[in-house]
Structure 1
Amino acid sequence: MKKLILAGLATLALLPATAMAQPASHYQQERHQAQKDARKVHDARQDLREAKRDVRDARWDYAREVRDYNRAHPWRATFRYQRFQPGARIQPAYYGRAYVVSDYGRFRWAKPGVNQRWVRHYNDALLVNIKTGRVVKVVHNAFR
C-alpha cells in the first residue's frame, strides 16, 4: 500500500512538468504567429504609404500638366464668366476657334462626338454641340 501511495505521488509530481512542457511550445507558436501578423500589418501600412505617395504624385503631375497647358494657351476672353450647365444654349462666340481644346485626351476627357468640340470657358471645359450651340457636358475648374 505504501508503494502504491508513493507511486501515485510520483506520478502526480511528474504530471505537471509534462503538462507545462506542452503549452510552452504552444506559446512559442502563438508568439511566432503574432510576429508574422505584426509583419503583415507593417507591410500593409507600408503599402498604404506608397499608395498615398502615388496618389500625391499623380495629383502633382496633373497639376503640372494643367499649369503647362495654361502657360502654352493663355486665356483671353472677350466676355464675362458664366457658370454653364449641361443643356444650356450658348452663343457661337463662346465656342469659337480661339477657345477650342484639341488635346482633350491629355485631361482624360471623353472624345467629342460628331459636331461636338471641347472649348475652354475661363477655368471650365465645355463639350458643345457646334450645330445647336447646346452644352453637352461641363467640367468645372478643369484648368485650375
Structure 2
Amino acid sequence: MRKFVLTALMAAVAMPAIAVPASAQSQREVRESRQDLREERREMRQAQRYGDGRDVRRERRDVRQARQEVREDVRDRNRVYGRNDWRAYRNTNRNLYARGNWNAPFRYNQFRAGARIAPAFYGQRYWINDPWRYRLPQVRGNQRWVRHYNDVVLVDYRRGIVIDTIRGFYF
C-alpha cells in the first residue's frame, strides 16, 4: 500500500511538469507547418524536374495548402485576445484555471482600477509570465498581470497603480 501511495504522489507531482503550455504548443505547430512547407516545396522542385504536368499541378496545390496552414498557425499564435475572450476558453479548459487553493502571505483585498498598491502585492513571484496561455489581453510597457488569490490584476509595476481587475478568474 505504501508503494502505491508513493507512486501516486510522484505521478501527481510530475503531471504539471509534463503539461505543455498553449503558447509552446502553438509555436511547435508553426514550426511543424513550416517544416511541412519546406518538404512540399522540395517535392514540387522534384516534380518540375522529373514529373509531368499533372504532378507539377498537384504539388503546387500542396504548396499552396501548406502556405495557408503556416499563415493560419502564425495568426493563431499571434492572436490578440480581448478582455473577455478568456471566458469561453475557460469553460472548455477548466483544468487550466483550477489552480487549487492559492493563498498569498497577506490577506485578500479587492483592488479597483486606479488604486495604488504596495509592491508586496505585485512582486515578481506573483506575475503571470504567460498571459496568452489564459487568453488574457496583451499588456503594454510596464504592465503585468498579477495573481491575487483567485483574481487577476493588471498592474503598472513602475508606479504601483491597478489598471484592471478580473475577479473570480481562477476556480
TM norm structure 1: 0.53
Instruction: Report whether the alignment pairs 1:125 with 2:156.
Output: no
* Separation (CA, whole Å) in 1 of partners of 2:117 and 2:123: 11
Q: Give a deviation string over 1:9-42, Cα, whole Å, max 9, x none.
A: xxxxxxxxxxxxxxxxxxxxxxxxxxxxxxxxxx
1:103 CA displacement: 1.5
Q: 1: distance between equivalents of 2:164 and 2:158?
A: 15
Q: Alpha-carbon deviations, 1:97-126, whole Å to 9, x = none?
A: 111111111221111110110100000000
TM-superposed deviation, 1:60: 4.2
Match of 2:119 in 1: 92
Say yes or no: does 1:61 pair with 2:88: no
Counterpart Cα distance in 2 of 1:89 and 1:132: 8
Displacement, 1:61? 2.3
The structure having more radius of gyration, on CA atoms, is 1
Q: Secondary structure at the match of 1:88?
A: coil
**Change beyond 3 A, Cα 1:80–1:60:** same
Correspondence 1:75 to 2:75:
no
Contact 2:154/2:163 (CA < 8 Å) preserved in 1? yes
- Pick closer, same or farther for the CA change 1:59–1:118 going to 2, 3 Å: closer
Q: TM-score w.r.t. structure 2 length?
A: 0.45
Go from structure 1 to structure 2 and tell me whether the alpha carbon gap of 1:91 and 1:58 turns closer, same or farther (over 3 Å shift).
closer
Q: What root-mean-square deviation, in Å, do the aligned CA atoms of Structure 1 and Structure 2 show?
A: 1.9
Quick check: 1:116 aligned with 2:143? yes
The one-letter code of the counterpart of 2:132 is G
Q: Percent identity?
A: 39
Correspondences of 1:4-19 after superposition (within 5 Å): none
Letter of the 1:114 partner, please give it. Answer: G
Match of 2:167 among 137, 140, 143: 140
Kindly tell me the number of residue pairs found equivalent between the two proteins: 84
Name structure 2 gaps, 5 residues minimum: 1-87
- In 1: Cα distance, 2:166 partner to 2:143 partner: 15
Deviation at 1:58, TM superposition (A): 5.4
Going from structure 1 to structure 2, the CA distance change for 1:78 and 1:93 (only over 3 Å counts) comes to: same
Q: Structure 1, unaligned stretches of length 5 or more?
A: 1-56
